[in-house]
């Protein structure tokens, strides 16, 4: 079967997530990066094309040039990956959809909720696949946690705590990645809440299968002069009555990428940590504790099929990302990939950000979370 051909938007020199997408997309040899508009600067787009070792003629200066040229090629791109900053997601994704290309986009889906609604309309009008790379849902043990909860291992979920501590924005925001993330014109009205809070929010719903129905948010811009939040405390209520606590921060000095989730039901509890992603801890109410290892024999079918190496041979971020691309490739072949986040997740995530920002600003207390 020929490989699917990917065009990338964003991912220019010095970018963080573009090269991660390239590696993840190509890991299973189902997809190949062949073209891109990697930067709004034509010379930088060319330089990125060289670093990705694609045909120099296929590193384009703008989106219109890319779509026009690729449409005319027999070996033109099959889909587009959007990995530019948040404010560019809607223009990039809607241009790709209008040109007839399925889209896989990084999160948050857009900069604002209004833009997410426009994106949902564009996806519906095009009738093409759209996927959102909530990376952490690709980890085998996150899939395992989800399967165990769905299978009743924890009983009725009553409480969850999801934490996403980072410390890299504790001081002045310098550097390419920090600059746009602290500028509301490019990040959207949410800072930390949009950058990592939305991952935590999505992970909690993904693992538990619950939907949040209301929240109480306290978002702070701790660093003087910062125009967006950098420290977030959110209480959540879920559709089965469960209570949740979501903590996301980028000013917690010493923390790196400490995403972790704990879920507690009437029969047991579980813990998964992104920095130690190859173990899942399960507690039962009678006092027993089970440690599940990635690659080990206790894994259910979904997690087992998402693991590439035997137990004890660590897998991580890149492999989790590759699992999302594997699902996306399946979608493009017309096969089901029910766990791949899509446009509904995009709308829920943007609604979460928008509601939390407004609720905190207005000191509104508990507010309903509606889509």
Ligand X SMILES: NC(=O)c1ccc[n+]([C@@H]2O[C@H](COP(=O)([O-])OP(=O)(O)OC[C@H]3O[C@@H](n4cnc5c(N)ncnc54)[C@H](O)[C@@H]3O)[C@@H](O)[C@H]2O)c1
3 state DSSP class of 196:
helix
How far apart (Å, rounded) are the C-alpha atoms in residues 61 and 110?
Answer: 22
Q: How far lies 255's CA from each of 145, 169, 274, in Å?
A: 24, 11, 12
Q: Which of residues 101-120 bind ligand X (CB under 6 A)?
A: 106-107
Tell me the number of residues near ligand X by CB under 6 A. Answer: 25
Work out which of 25, 49, 84, 303 binds ligand X, going by CB under 6 A.
84
Work out which of 12, 49, 138, 295 binds ligand X, going by CB under 6 A.
12
Output 84 or 307, the one with its CB closest to ligand X.
Answer: 84
Write the DSSP assignment of 92-120 as a string of letters.
Answer: HHHHHHHTT--EEEPSSSSSSHHHHHHHH
Residue 72, judged by CB atoms within 10 A of its CB (0-12, 13-18, 19+), counts as exposed
Q: Which residues pair with 164 in a beta bridge?
A: 248
Residue closest to ligand X, measured at CB: 12
Output 243 or 317, the one with its CB closest to ligand X.
Answer: 317
Stretch that binds ligand X, among 11-19, 72-80, 301-309, 331-339 (CB under 6 A): 11-19
Work out which of 30, 78, 80, 85 binds ligand X, going by CB under 6 A.
85
Output 168 or 180, the one with its CB closest to ligand X.
Answer: 180
Output 38 or 264, the one with its CB closest to ligand X.
Answer: 38
Contact assessment for residue 202 and residue 109, using Cβ atoms and an 8 Å cutoff: no
Give me the long-range contacts of 283-292 (CB less than 8 A, separation at least 24). Answer: 285/155, 292/141, 292/144
Residues 6+ apart with CB under 8 A from 28: 322, 325, 326, 329
Q: Residue with structure tokens 């600003």?
A: 361
Q: Does 135 help bind ligand X (rule: CB under 6 A)?
A: yes
Q: Does 51 help bind ligand X (rule: CB under 6 A)?
A: no
Question: Nearest distance from residue 108's CB to ligand X, in Å?
Answer: 6
3 state DSSP class of 26:
helix
Q: Does 37 help bind ligand X (rule: CB under 6 A)?
A: yes
Work out which of 3, 26, 27, 40 binds ligand X, going by CB under 6 A.
40
Q: Which of residues 272-291 bind ligand X (CB under 6 A)?
A: none
Output 166 or 208, the one with its CB closest to ligand X.
Answer: 166
Output 299 or 319, the one with its CB closest to ligand X.
Answer: 319
First to last CA, the chain: 39
Angle at 130 between CA 128 and CA 131, to 5 degrees: 155
Output 86 or 278, the one with its CB closest to ligand X.
Answer: 86
Work out which of 6, 7, 10, 144 binds ligand X, going by CB under 6 A.
10
Output 20 or 219, the one with its CB closest to ligand X.
Answer: 20
How far apart (Å, rounded) are the C-alpha atoms in residues 65 and 173?
Answer: 34
Contact flags string 186-205 toward ligand X, x per CB under 6 A: ---------x----------
Stretch that binds ligand X, among 3-11, 145-153, 154-162, 262-270 (CB under 6 A): 3-11
Q: Residue 163: left (phi > 0), alpha (psi -120 to 50), or beta?
A: beta
Question: Nearest distance from residue 82's CB to ligand X, in Å?
Answer: 8
Output 42 or 153, the one with its CB closest to ligand X.
Answer: 42
Q: Does 176 help bind ligand X (rule: CB under 6 A)?
A: yes
Q: Does 15 help bind ligand X (rule: CB under 6 A)?
A: yes
Q: Residue 318: left (phi > 0), alpha (psi -120 to 50), or beta?
A: alpha
Q: How far lies 337's CA from each of 42, 80, 87, 97, 207, in Å?
A: 36, 18, 28, 20, 16
Question: Nearest distance from residue 98's CB to ligand X, in Å?
Answer: 16
Q: Which of residues 211-230 bind ligand X (CB under 6 A)?
A: none
Query: Which residues are at the interface with ligand X (CB under 6 A)?
Result: 9-12, 15-18, 37-40, 83-86, 88, 106-107, 133, 135, 176-177, 180, 195
């Amino acid at each position: 079967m020929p490989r699917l051909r990917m065009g990338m938007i964003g991912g220019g020199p010095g970018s963080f997530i573009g090269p991660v997408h390239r590696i993840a997309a190509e890991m299973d040899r189902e997809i190949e990066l062949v073209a891109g508009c990697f930067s709004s600067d034509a010379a930088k787009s060319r330089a990125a094309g060289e670093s990705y070792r694609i045909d120099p003629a296929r590193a384009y200066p703008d989106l219109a040039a890319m779509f026009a040229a690729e449409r005319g090629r027999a070996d033109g791109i099959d889909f587009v990956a959007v990995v530019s900053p948040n404010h560019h997601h809607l223009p990039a994704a809607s241009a790709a959809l209008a040109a007839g290309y399925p889209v896989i986009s990084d999160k948050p889906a857009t900069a604002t909720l209004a833009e997410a609604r426009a994106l949902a309309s564009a996806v519906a009008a095009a009738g093409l696949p759209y996927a959102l790379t909530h990376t952490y849902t690709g980890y085998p043990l996150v899939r395992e946690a989800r399967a165990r909860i769905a299978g009743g291992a924890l009983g009725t979920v009553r409480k969850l705590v999801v934490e996403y501590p980072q410390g890299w924005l504790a001081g002045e925001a310098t550097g390419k990645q920090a600059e746009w993330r602290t500028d509301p014109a490019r990040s959207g009205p949410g800072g930390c809440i949009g950058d990592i809070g939305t991952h935590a929010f999505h992970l909690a719903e993904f693992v538990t299968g619950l939907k949040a129905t209301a929240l109480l948010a306290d978002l702070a811009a701790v660093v003087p002069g910062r125009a967006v939040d950098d420290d977030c405390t959110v209480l959540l209520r879920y559709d089965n009555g469960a209570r949740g606590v979501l903590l996301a921060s980028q000013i917690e000095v010493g923390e790196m990428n400490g995403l972790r989730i704990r879920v507690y039901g009437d029969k047991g509890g579980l813990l998964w940590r992104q920095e130690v992603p190859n173990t899942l801890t399960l507690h039962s109410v009678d006092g027993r504790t089970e440690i599940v290892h990635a690659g080990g024999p206790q894994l259910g079918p979904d997690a087992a099929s998402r693991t590439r190496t035997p137990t004890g041979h660590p897998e991580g971020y890149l492999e989790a990302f590759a699992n999302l691309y594997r699902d996306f490739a399946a979608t493009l072949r017309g096969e089901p990939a029910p766990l791949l986040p899509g446009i509904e997740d995009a709308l829920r995530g943007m609604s979460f950000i928008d509601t939390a920002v407004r609720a905190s600003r207005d000191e509104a207390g508990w507010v309903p979370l509606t889509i």
